[in-house]
Amino acid sequence: MHLGQLVAARQNHPTRVGWCAIFTKAFGLVSAQRPELRRAFLSYPRSHLYEHNRSIASVAVERRLGNEEAVLFALFQGPEERSLVTLQTDMDRAKNAPVEENGAFRRELRLSRLPSPLRRLIWWYTFKVCGKRRAKHCGTFGISATASLGASQLMLLSPLTTTLYYGPFDKEGAIDVRLVFDHRVVDGANIARIMVELEGILCQEILTELAAGAASSKIAA
């Protein structure tokens, strides 16, 4: 994707909005228009698709637990309905506030402490049986990126229907954006269209919001 104008608008915005927040809101806007991005494949008691009524982003967050770095997943309901500044504030809280203050983090840690057979049963029920629980506790789409560390992932495995990830920008404002998807839910041709729509939203709705924020800041000054 070629996002040079967006890079410039972000730099001029009074609030340091991260790319994770930008891509999360943009993909939420696409999901609001594309119901297939809010669907999940369930296999029990028969193979069928479940469609959630709104998007929920599951964002990978690195937190320190004891003496090690761990990846937890913060959930953001309806990211397309929030301003970028609000979404960034919520993401900063997920990254910096005590882990026990985040409901999703607490649930994930409780689950990790259960015996393996019970843990596997809960995961099976969540991902194979109950679509509503799956969306509520695991999200409808995922966001994962290591771009802030200067690295780009070539392949990513995810249990969700779609997971978006991206690499660092080059000097011209181009960036590699990838989307892992469940072929049982959505076809590759639709994914190609979705990626085109995502770039369009980034260069229109998201760019407009960032530019408006920068203009308001100049007027206030």
pLDDT at 221 over 70: no
pLDDT of residue 149: 76
What digits encode the pLDDT tens for the residues 76-128? Answer: 999 999 999 999 999 999 999 999 999 999 999 999 999 999 999 999 999 99
CA–CA separation, 49 and 151 (whole Å): 35
pLDDT computed for residue 57 by the predictor: 98
Higher pLDDT, 182 or 146: 182
Which of helix, strand or coil describes residue 24?
helix
- Please tell me the predicted confidence (pLDDT) of residue 164: 97
Average pLDDT, the chain: 94
Helix (H, G, I), strand (E, B) or coil at 23: helix
How much is the pLDDT for 218? 63
> Strand 56-65 relative to strand 141-143: parallel, antiparallel, unpaired?
parallel
Confidence of residue 215 (pLDDT cuts 50, 70, 90): confident
CB atoms within 10 A of CB 162: 25
Tell me what pLDDT residue 154 has.
Answer: 77
Query: pLDDT over 90 for what percent of the chain?
Result: 90
Q: In this predicted model, which residue has the larger pLDDT, 192 or 217?
A: 192
Query: What's residue 151's pLDDT?
Result: 76
- Model-level pTM? 0.93
Beta partners for residue 196, in sequence order? none
Residue 130 pLDDT:
97
Is residue 25 within 8 Å of residue 206, measured between CB atoms? yes
Domain 4-220 has CATH 3.30.70.240: no
Which residues, including other chains, have CB under 8 Å from residue 102's CB and lie 6 or more apart?
72, 74, 93, 94
pLDDT in tens, 119-163: 999 999 999 999 999 999 999 999 998 877 777 777 888 999 999
Interval 200-217 mean pLDDT: 90
**Cβ within 8 Å of residue 65, ≥6 positions away:** 99, 109
Supply angle C-alpha 13, 102, 63, rounded to 5. Answer: 75
Q: Which helix (H) or strand (E) holds 48?
A: strand 48-51
The domain limits of the chain are: 4-220
At 11 the pLDDT is: 93
How many CB atoms are closer than 10 A to CB 172?
10
